Amino acid sequence: MKQTFAVIGLGRFGGSLLESLIAADQEVLAIDNNPALVENYMDVATHAVIADAQDEDALRDLDLPSFDHVIVAIGHNQQASILTTILLKDMGVRHVVAKAENNLHARVLDKVGADQVVRPEHEMAQRLAEQIMTPNLINYIDLGDKHSLGEIKIANLKFANKTISELNIRKNYGLNVIAIKSQGRVVVAPESSEMIQIGDVLTVVGESVDVKHFESLVE
Ligand code: ADP
């Protein structure tokens, strides 16, 4: 489904975000106070305008409350990022996502009403660190209350060519296998007789410590 987005600030982050949204066939209004940057995105974005986001009248003229999402991708100029976020929330924009440069900036954006605050470098670095430390944990979702869901790649022969019941995953590792991805095929809610091969990806649910422990065993 098509949604409408406005991206304010066409630096590295705002520009990449805009390109991803356009590639996903969404409608994107691009805004920056730097005419050269707006010029760059003129043919990429659905519309591109030169505007100072700290100027309330200029913001009002853009009718931003009619957009589904407005992303404040101004980073270095923290004053502009904070003022823009306040103005957007005051004028009734439903969903404001704001990019923070650091922890304090993030706290301020949260306090002034941003619906979502992102710290791309920080979040990407954390994810990369996790990926390097746990290469077989392909995906991880914290479900809250000490439970999580993990997608774990089987890379250890000890676990290969055995069925779920032979491995007794629930009893031995405290986990429920809810899906197995094997050579492009996905088996949802697999029977206990399902065979596991090297390279298969198991989707498991359980206590977070058990998910992490299992991941450390399959290497
Ligand atoms: P990145 O690290 O993603 O490159 P920057 O903070 O360097 O982010 O870039 C932010 C962009 O926001 C710049 O292109 C800058 O011109 C733009 N910008 C800064 N202040 C304003 C403002 N008041 N109104 C509109 N755009 C702004």
Rounded distance from Cα 80 to ligand 1 centre (Å): 9
| Residue 219 confidence (pLDDT) | 79
| Residue 73 confidence (pLDDT) | 98
Rounded distance from Cα 190 to ligand 1 centre (Å): 50
Ligand 1, atom 19, lies closest to the CA of: 74
Residues of the chain with CATH 3.30.70.1450: 134-217
- Given a cut of 90, is residue 130 above it in pLDDT? no
- Given a cut of 90, is residue 13 above it in pLDDT? yes
Which of the pair, 200 or 1, is modelled with greater confidence?
200
| Residue 157 confidence (pLDDT) | 87
Rounded distance from Cα 72 to ligand 1 centre (Å): 9
| Residue 206 confidence (pLDDT) | 97
Question: What one-character DSSP code corresponds to residue 55?
Answer: -
115-123: which pairs have CB atoms within 8 A and are 24 or more residues apart? 120/13
The 10s digit of each residue's pLDDT in 168-192 is 999 999 999 999 999 989 999 999 9
Which among 19, 33, 78 is the best mutation to test ligand 1's pocket, defined by most ligand atoms within 8 Å of the CB?
33
Fold topology of 134-217: Alpha-Beta Plaits (3.30.70)
Using DSSP's 3-state secondary structure scheme, residue 219 falls into coil
| Average model confidence (pLDDT) across the chain | 95
ipTM of the complex: 0.92
Indicate the CATH number for domain 4-123: 3.40.50.720
The 10s digit of each residue's pLDDT in 76-116 is 999 999 999 999 999 999 999 999 999 999 999 999 999 99
Closest-lying ligand 1 atom to the alpha carbon of residue 52? 24
- Given a cut of 90, is residue 24 above it in pLDDT? yes
- Given a cut of 90, is residue 44 above it in pLDDT? yes
What separation in angstroms does the CA of 173 have from each of 15, 144, 182, 202? 45, 19, 21, 13
Structure token pair of residue 176: 């429920």
What separation in angstroms does the CA of 4 have from each of 9, 43, 49, 66, 77? 16, 17, 15, 8, 25
- Given a cut of 90, is residue 163 above it in pLDDT? yes
By the 10 Å C-beta count (0-12 exposed, 13-18 middle, 19+ buried), 6 is classed as: buried
Q: Taking CB atoms and a 6 Å cutoff, what residues make up the pocket around ligand 1?
A: 8-14, 32-34, 37, 52-54, 73-77, 80
Closest-lying ligand 1 atom to the alpha carbon of residue 75? 6
Per-residue confidence band for 211, with pLDDT thresholds at 50, 70 and 90: very high
d(CA 11, CA 37): 8
Q: Which of 21-30, 34-43, 125-134 has the lowest mean pLDDT?
A: 125-134
Residues of the chain with CATH 3.40.50.720: 4-123
d(CA 156, CA 25): 41
What separation in angstroms does the CA of 217 have from each of 135, 154, 170, 191, 198? 12, 9, 15, 22, 13
pTM of the entire structure? 0.81
What is the amino acid identity at position 3? Q
Using DSSP's 3-state secondary structure scheme, residue 189 falls into coil
| Residue 218 confidence (pLDDT) | 86
| Residue 110 confidence (pLDDT) | 98
| Residue 96 confidence (pLDDT) | 98
